[in-house]
Structure 1
Amino acid sequence: MRINELSIQQVTNANGNFQFNNLPIGRYILSFSMVGFESKKIETSIPVSTDDLFLIELQPSETVLQTVEILGRDEQSYKNTSSFVGTKTETPIKDDPQAISYVTKELIDDQQAFKPSDILKNISSVNTYSYYNNDISIRGFRAGGALVNGLRSPTNSWSQTLLANVERVEVVKGPSSIFYGDSDPGGTVNTVTKKPLVENRKSVDFSTGSYNTFRLKSDFTGPMNEQKTLLYRLNLAYQNAESFRVLQGGEDMLIAPSFSFLPNDRTRVNVDFVYSKAKSRLDRGQPIFGGSAGTQLNSTPISFAIAKQNDFMHELNMNSTLSIQHKFSDHVSINASYMKVLYDEDLLEHRTSNNYAVDEAGQEIPTLMQMQTIRRKRKSFNDNISLYLVNRFKTGPLEHRMTAGYDYIQNVVPIGGSTFNAAGYRNADNTGVISRYNKDKPELYLIEDGMPVPNVPHFDLTDPDYSISEISSYINDPNSQSAARTFQHGIFFQDQIAWGPVKAVLALRQGYYTNVRDYKQDDENLVRQRKFIPRIGLVYTPIQPVSIYANYTQGYQPQSANIVADPERYGGPFEPMTSKSFEGGVKTEFFNKLLAINTAIYHIEKNNILIDANDDVNPDLRRQIGQQRSRGIELDVNGQILSNLSITANVAINNTVITKSDDPAEEGKRMPNAPKHKGGIWAKYTFKLPALNGVGIAAGANYISERNTQNAALILPSYVVADAALYYAFDKFRITANLNNVFNKTHWVGGYDYNRLFPGTPRNFLVGVGYTF
């Protein structure tokens, strides 16, 4: 049970008895909950007579046919009990034969996290690759896909999404192609948004802190009619903040209403809408002195960025979802969901050409960066349809929960996208541009002061110039981007079988994948692929708190539509990516199921991955390497050790290497941004002493071992970063103060090459005030 106003929790003894001592005078709402039962709340006043007793009876909750998350969850801790992402139906995590890691909204609030990069440290085997949206590595493999409420969401945007409307962030480990089409073998991120609640809750939070940060968010939910058949939730968020990075930071806004309609006990309808807008600049990372100068991570400050004052990036994301669940009987239900996503980008950037300047003899100048400008406007649309039937029945001693369904995912880049780019070197007559400098033919180029003249002036790392630069002074190349379309659909079948302490998951998928090249053009043609994908998993529960599991899963990923549709830019043709995974582990619960400790060991193989070709002429060129293998072990801890002591911790040992390549020198090389060791811990303690009533403290630390970049000569060092927080709750107010990177450790969270490193934030603070009413 929990006293909401004081954020104090208590656990009953074996007889169901409980008590709270030394409570301040006032009125309180007591919340009672237990897995498998409906939650209940009562209101009371202090003081009460010593003879007064509360008799609370919870009613069993029938959740076995729930197939989509329609209503908000009442769990209010670092531990999450059930998930939909692994099986399409609500399944206890301990009964799912694969690793699922997560971060709950309570941890998000305690760490005052605002974007996904703020919470990755809490999840095992997940590491930052760059600053960009969903650009992470999971179990050593670079991730590219994402889910929102179990539906495939595009990751076109550069800016990271906000967390104000997020209930929890889950990472389902290993390939998940069975339900979600093409998926990365390391794992897939699923964002679960907040859903309406049946009781009124309202909160407003304001935060400010380092780098001129101003942040406001609110959360309103409750019934809209007396019958409580129509519920709403409205999440709002706004942030205006600068950054430790030069000319970075910006403005973010989120509006996220959600409605649930429950006309009867058999039908549930949910509508979600998310409007997200970001105004910023595109941060391509920190450049350092060139490779010929040796590895000099400190040759430029971590605040160093390449940009111009008139650069901008305006992004709009709109997401709308309709979900309908209907029970035909106590044993059969159907779920239908449709999600529509719009992405709109308006961009101007001065960025590197991923190379350093050269002199007339072709010698690299390690302190001057070759530059290019990109002016781009584009849109894309994504459609996702999911339809499946769930049937629960018995055959003799076997209990079945059978799922059969169909899904369709489409991404369209319409006609109208356009770029206006400048790069390369001026020709001898200064009337045109040559993309690459050829030291053997200097007569073709305009030469001044012993150097070929660039179309876009070089950026001096020793004397940066951030002034306004008018792109019309360059020789620009306007291009209309080709329209593109990719779609996939599949039929899937799953049977979750229970026989006493043994549970099995058997699943099959037949997937169809189509890329449309030159979409809506006279020479339009289709590239079709298909794949049959199996999955099998077993769970054995010798005693109730312990589950032992194992699984085998395959994955499949056709190359993305933009890469297939533009071989001149990206290269190719390329073979599709395939993967297979073997995994086993143990999931346990302690302290009356308040604490979960999950371990996993795995072996994953992925074939035909694409990596940057590091081509001097074409920075977008890709090349394909044969096979990568990931092996590792991981541990996740989430929940409460005491009623007033919450903890989350993770440890991972991972070795992801290239096992087959056309270049023998690459074999045995560790994949970029895939640390061999990772660990973290965060603990929060709330005092029970009357003199410190409402006071809490928290502290944590995170360790990342050294990592390779995409350049074999550049290795990022290991680091340990410590964080701390202080809390004070009184009446309906909550004050939070977070100090991040307490010891001001200089570190890099990811990196590509000498010209694109991604440093971590120095010591910073954030102070927030929240009011619940």
Structure 2
Amino acid sequence: MLFWQCVLLTASIVTYTHPVLAQQIANGTSRQLSLQQTAANQVELSHQILNLNDIQSPLKSATSLLRTPRQQNSVPELSLALTPVMLVTDVKVNTTNKGIEVILVTPNSQKLFVSGRTEGNSYIAEIKNAQLQLAGGNFRQEKPAAGIANVIVAPVDGNTLRLTVTGETAVPVVELFDSQTEGLVFGVTPSATTAQQPTPSQQTKPENQPEIELEVTAPPDTDYRVPDTTTGTRTLTPNRDIPQTVQVVPRAVIEDQADKRVGDVLRNLGIGQNSEPSRLGESVIIRGFDVEASNSLRDGLRDNLTSFIGTPFQNDLANIERIEVLKGPASVLYGNGSPGGVYNLVTKQPLSTPYYSIEGNVGSYSLYKSSIDFTGPLTSDKKLLYRFNADYENSGSYINNVYAERTFFAPVITWQPSRDTKLTVSGEYLNSRQAELSPLGLPAIGTILPNPNGKIPPNTYVGDPTQDREKVTVGRAGYRFEHNFSDRWSLYNSFSYAFVERPYTTNVTPTSLEADNRTVDRFEQIWGPTSVSNLSQDTHVVGKFKTGFLEHQLLIGVDWYQRIVSPFSFIIRTFPTIDIYNPVYGQIPGDILGGRKDKERIDDLGIYFQDQLAIAPNLKLVLGGRGDFEEQKILTFDPSSITAQSNSAFSPRLGIVYQPIPPVSLYASYSRSFDQVLGTDVNNNPFEPTRGTQYEVGVKTDLLDNKLSATLALYQLTQSNIVTTDPNDPTYGIQVGEQRSRGVELFFTGELAPGWNIIAAYNYTDGRVIRDNTFKVGSLLTNTPENSASLWTTYIIPKGKLQGFGGGLGVFYFGDRQGDLTNTYTLPSYVRTDAALYYRHNQFQAALNFQNLFDVLYYQGAYNFNRVFRGEPFEVEATLKWQL
């Protein structure tokens, strides 16, 4: 092997120093490269140097493409140091008579350095002086041609891209070309259909060199590691360059676990819920603080429809590509919200190669579900693309008399008239019909606390099925426009309109448990027709430039959010009590107690900036700030009765990242948030926004040749200006409350070996009341375990007679949690075990998912002082999927 390395290195030096040979190659019309070598050996040489087809390689595996720019009388290492970073503005995949060609669109492909290797059945090329500028994040295309499983282009770090082409049965043959009009072109030929691979008889095996066996790795859609995100900075940034915790759960995990709700997905991050695990509202606890739907983003825009009182519903996951979670204050980028963080639902986007998927599910409690996912080009030039996701679900529940029926579809169209301009228009429609309006839960006495009457059956329904009816229609429509003025300046404009329509609705709600510990008091709410609408708009400019030795990536933007609820009306009337041990339904409602009718409106204007500075290649700084101007009004349809409040707030952010070696990032950050509070104190002074302040330090690293990522974070997060009871007048509030959360978090995600994926998290959280006029100082925060952990891992057999068979195992632990801020009762700890069996062969997939495998009775959340919510019992779900 040393002999061949010396031959190639000598040829490289001769070419650089021999002017005649260099001139002959420079004048050549073909600049095709092809070099075959083992993955264990890589030698860089100039693509102007040799006709590599004339070199007899002793190696039998895949093609490796190695290039440096033309530099007379210099060596490749020096050329790399002097070459500027090039921008890759687009990725195209076209069909050829041999297979496909992958085009990295860039203005000067001759200045790109490419080194290649193979792993399993994948060809991997790293471009060491390039940055990817795609608004949607990484590029990924499934099954672009027969014999090719997928094509992925993603950043490795701020100055390196990685192209991965995976063959279905063997590593493909890859040839490299320069296109004067488009960029760098990789010609890909599936190994099963080509004769270009050398045969064993044509190869000379080095002494003691082991045979190379190409393995079929896990299916192409099973990547658990997402190396870069947009949620942490609003720009596509490698996760290890973000000085704050960002965790991502990709589509592969959602499908492997057969998740149906946001709470199911976030459980993989050790994040718990504080309400009933029915398919209704979404509310989770991050770092000790409630993160309701007001902290929900959709493709980077605020989307808090599910937080509307009286209209809870679950987001459908059919068109969700991944969920990104930014932990800690996020107001600098996204405005008003909880200090715990935000979660961003990133939707599926159109692909340039046709892909079709049909899926059917059946499961426990009369679950029937079907879905489709179609995508591809609408025109021959592939400038107009589409994607269409749809599903239908009909299911019951472990809770008696609870059911749900949902219909959902989401079309997306992308038009790209040129490589610098792209417009994506999307829409969604959800129709949900269910028996339960809001999570009801069960009394703490008789579930987690003793009751002389015995345990309350956990499937008891305390509402009234003859009265409870809920129907919700949800719609979304929006667009995203992107334009590159140059290689360094880009404009992004996004808009979203979303609405919820709910007709006349009734709901019976429990209030308290009487002294006999079996009679539950109830009332009935009758909701009038209600409409909720959200308008979200964001416009920002991203520019890259230098000032002296500093490299800047500047972000300047403005966003606007409006929320209107009109009308918001309901009446409350008495309703007969119920014996929780012997419920009788269908009773006659009583007298009207009161009601409400008004119109609500919120307007929020934000102006923000951010500068990502590279002080040195291994030292980065993030500076940011945002000014918010928010106004909230409540009109009671009486012109003389208007409640209005305006607030403004400035939210800063500062972070630093130091990389002692490329795979390791040490970081520290400071950030603040604000949350609007409506109301006045005893002196009629409007309440100030609550403020969140966080200090965080940590380390991020990429292991196993960038296949596995890990993050360790330590933080202190404080929320101040919390409204608590005024000791001088209990009918008013005063903003002196303060709560603090301190913790340690550990997170792993990625691939341990071919076909073996893992996502795991551990959270230690010490959340307490540190100042209050009502609750005792030192009281633990509700629904916040001191320790929580999650582990989910899957393995698909990569070769042999059992190829395609596999399984998954998940263990989720949540420690003891307090049911209220007075700490009067504790939700006990629990361990839930999930499992799955898989079979995947070509276009066919089958799965059997088991949730709560050992049927553990546990309570995952509490609400107010008298309601706790049981977790799901044992459930099984079967899935069949066909994709083309």
TM-score (norm 2): 0.74
Q: CA offset at residue 180 of structure 1?
A: 0.9
- Matched with 2:118 is 17
Which of 61, 84, 106 lines up with 2:252 in the alignment? 106
Are the structure 2 counterparts of residues 754 and 594 from structure 1 closer, same or farther at C-alpha, using a change threshold of 3 Å?
same
Are the structure 2 counterparts of residues 543 and 347 from structure 1 closer, same or farther at C-alpha, using a change threshold of 3 Å?
farther
Give the partner amino acid of 1:307: G
Q: Is the 8 A contact 1:292 1:366 kept in 2?
A: no
Q: CA offset at residue 418 of structure 1?
A: 2.5
- Matched with 1:136 is 284
Give the partner amino acid of 1:331: R
Q: Is the 8 A contact 1:734 1:771 kept in 2?
A: yes
Are the structure 2 counterparts of residues 308 and 292 from structure 1 closer, same or farther at C-alpha, using a change threshold of 3 Å?
closer
Are the structure 2 counterparts of residues 129 and 548 from structure 1 closer, same or farther at C-alpha, using a change threshold of 3 Å?
farther
- Matched with 2:780 is 670
Give the partner amino acid of 2:792: W
Tell me the distance in 2 between the aligned counterparts of 1:315 and 1:623: 37
- Matched with 2:709 is 596
Residues 50-449 of structure 1 mapped to structure 2, 5 A cutoff: 54-57=173-176, 76-131=222-277, 132-144=280-292, 145=294, 146-154=296-304, 155-156=307-308, 157-280=311-434, 281-288=436-443, 290=445, 295-296=450-451, 299-310=455-466, 311-346=468-503, 348-357=505-514, 364-376=515-527, 377-414=529-566, 416-423=567-574
Give the partner amino acid of 1:770: K
Are the structure 2 counterparts of residues 459 and 642 from structure 1 closer, same or farther at C-alpha, using a change threshold of 3 Å?
same
Q: Is the 8 A contact 1:170 1:190 kept in 2?
A: yes
| Partner SS, residue 690 of structure 1 | coil
Q: Is the 8 A contact 2:451 2:517 kept in 1?
A: no
| Partner SS, residue 674 of structure 2 | strand
| Partner SS, residue 330 of structure 1 | coil
Q: CA offset at residue 379 of structure 1?
A: 1.3
Give the partner amino acid of 1:153: D
Are the structure 2 counterparts of residues 246 and 57 from structure 1 closer, same or farther at C-alpha, using a change threshold of 3 Å?
farther
Matched, 1:639 2:639: no
Q: CA offset at residue 491 of structure 1?
A: 1.0
Tell me the distance in 2 between the aligned counterparts of 1:572 and 1:650: 44
Which of 633, 644, 647 lines up with 1:516 in the alignment? 633
- Matched with 1:530 is 648
Are the structure 2 counterparts of residues 391 and 20 from structure 1 closer, same or farther at C-alpha, using a change threshold of 3 Å?
closer
Q: Is the 8 A contact 2:241 2:657 kept in 1?
A: yes
Tell me the distance in 2 between the aligned counterparts of 1:686 and 1:469: 55
Are the structure 2 counterparts of residues 493 and 753 from structure 1 closer, same or farther at C-alpha, using a change threshold of 3 Å?
closer
Matched, 1:697 2:798: no
Give the partner amino acid of 2:439: R
Are the structure 2 counterparts of residues 407 and 254 from structure 1 closer, same or farther at C-alpha, using a change threshold of 3 Å?
same
- Matched with 1:436 is none
Tell me the distance in 1 between the aligned counterparts of 2:340 and 2:177: 40
Between structure 1 and structure 2, the one with the greater Rg is 2
| Partner SS, residue 228 of structure 1 | coil
Tell me the distance in 2 between the aligned counterparts of 1:307 and 1:100: 40
| Partner SS, residue 107 of structure 1 | helix
Residues 477-492 of structure 1 mapped to structure 2, 5 A cutoff: 479=595, 481-492=597-608
| Partner SS, residue 598 of structure 2 | coil
Q: CA offset at residue 302 of structure 1?
A: 1.6
Are the structure 2 counterparts of residues 749 and 179 from structure 1 closer, same or farther at C-alpha, using a change threshold of 3 Å?
same
Give the partner amino acid of 1:548: L
Are the structure 2 counterparts of residues 482 and 522 from structure 1 closer, same or farther at C-alpha, using a change threshold of 3 Å?
same
How many percent of aligned residue pairs carry the same amino acid? 27
- Matched with 2:132 is none
- Matched with 2:582 is 463
Q: CA offset at residue 149 of structure 1?
A: 0.7
Tell me the distance in 2 between the aligned counterparts of 1:668 and 1:43: 58
Q: Which has the higher contact order (CA 8 A, sep 6+)?
A: 1
- Matched with 2:817 is 707
Are the structure 2 counterparts of residues 27 and 699 from structure 1 closer, same or farther at C-alpha, using a change threshold of 3 Å?
same
| Partner SS, residue 379 of structure 2 | coil
- Matched with 2:23 is none
Are the structure 2 counterparts of residues 175 and 313 from structure 1 closer, same or farther at C-alpha, using a change threshold of 3 Å?
same
Tell me the distance in 2 between the aligned counterparts of 1:533 and 1:491: 11
Q: CA offset at residue 344 of structure 1?
A: 1.8
Tell me the distance in 2 between the aligned counterparts of 1:476 and 1:576: 36
CA offsets 1:284-316 (integer angstroms, 9 cap, x no match): 333236599954497212211212222111112
CA offsets 1:340-376 (integer angstroms, 9 cap, x no match): 110122464443452234xxxxxx3321111100111
| Partner SS, residue 244 of structure 1 | coil
- Matched with 1:628 is 739
Q: CA offset at residue 498 of structure 1?
A: 0.6
Are the structure 2 counterparts of residues 749 and 634 from structure 1 closer, same or farther at C-alpha, using a change threshold of 3 Å?
same
Q: Is the 8 A contact 1:293 1:366 kept in 2?
A: no
Which of 670, 680, 703 lines up with 1:552 in the alignment? 670
Which of 7, 15, 35 lines up with 2:154 in the alignment? 35
Structure 1 stretch 507-516 or stretch 650-659: which is displaced more?
A: 507-516
| Partner SS, residue 417 of structure 1 | strand
- Matched with 2:67 is none
| Partner SS, residue 518 of structure 2 | strand
| Partner SS, residue 464 of structure 1 | coil
Tell me the distance in 2 between the aligned counterparts of 1:610 and 1:136: 21
Q: CA offset at residue 253 of structure 1?
A: 1.7
CA offsets 1:510-564 (integer angstroms, 9 cap, x no match): 11111123277523453111112211010111111111111000111112xxx55
Q: Is the 8 A contact 1:286 1:303 kept in 2?
A: no
Q: CA offset at residue 133 of structure 1?
A: 2.3
Tell me the distance in 1 between the aligned counterparts of 2:812 and 2:552: 42
Tell me the distance in 2 between the aligned counterparts of 1:706 and 1:330: 53
Are the structure 2 counterparts of residues 53 and 759 from structure 1 closer, same or farther at C-alpha, using a change threshold of 3 Å?
closer
Q: CA offset at residue 147 of structure 1?
A: 0.7
Q: CA offset at residue 226 of structure 1?
A: 0.7
Q: CA offset at residue 283 of structure 1?
A: 4.6
| Partner SS, residue 55 of structure 1 | strand
| Partner SS, residue 255 of structure 2 | helix
Give the partner amino acid of 2:498: V
- Matched with 2:82 is none
Q: Is the 8 A contact 2:447 2:456 kept in 1?
A: no
Give the partner amino acid of 1:141: F
Q: Is the 8 A contact 1:714 1:753 kept in 2?
A: no
Residues 745-756 of structure 1 mapped to structure 2, 5 A cutoff: 745-753=856-864, 755-756=866-867
Are the structure 2 counterparts of residues 59 and 671 from structure 1 closer, same or farther at C-alpha, using a change threshold of 3 Å?
farther
Are the structure 2 counterparts of residues 551 and 126 from structure 1 closer, same or farther at C-alpha, using a change threshold of 3 Å?
farther
Tell me the distance in 1 between the aligned counterparts of 2:403 and 2:685: 36
